[in-house]
Amino acid sequence: MFKVTPNPPNTDPASPCESLDSNKLNEAAERALNPGPHIMATPRKPSTMFIVNPELNTETLLVHACESLASANVMANDLVDHLEGTSRNALLGIAQVIMLGELVVNRALDQLDPTD
């Protein structure tokens, strides 16, 4: 039987790495590893599409958070009735986490001093 590939196989004697300039490689590596100050020169401006009014007091924010958590809890518990097996168990766990968050927000509301 005739072996098609020589032992060792013929290779091109010119390595592709020999043609690269080592200074250029070093500069590219430096840029990749140390991006420099120009990356963070412009501060990130957050989107104002969904913002919470910064003038709202803590009690108002907590009341809205409590109502949102209560609504999420009701939606999760309504959806549980349509599921079976592991999906149902996972959603019940999520509903429990929502309920615990609601309890924490309610406790925070109880501890707030009433504002005049």
pLDDT band at 8 (very low <50, low <70, confident <90, very high): low
Residue 7 half-sphere exposure toward CB, CA atoms < 13 A: 2
Q: Rounded mean pLDDT of 2-26?
A: 67
The mean per-residue pLDDT over the stretch 66-94 comes to 94
| d(C-alpha 59, C-alpha 82), whole Å | 36
Q: What are 69's two structure tokens?
A: 């958590």
- Would you state the pLDDT for residue 48? 79
Burial class for 69, CB neighbours closer than 10 Å (0-12, 13-18, 19+): buried
Q: Which residue has the higher pLDDT, 103 or 43?
A: 103
Q: Is the overall model pTM greater than 0.85, yes or no?
A: no
Give the per-residue pLDDT at 96. Answer: 95
The pLDDT, as a whole number, for residue 108 is: 92
Mean pLDDT, the chain, whole residue set? 82
**CA–CA dist 65, 57 (Å, integer):** 13
What is the rounded distance in angstroms from the CA atom of residue 60 to the CA atom of residue 56?
6
Confidence of residue 44 (pLDDT cuts 50, 70, 90): confident
Buried b (16+ CB within 10 A) or exposed e, 55-67: eeeeeeebeebbe
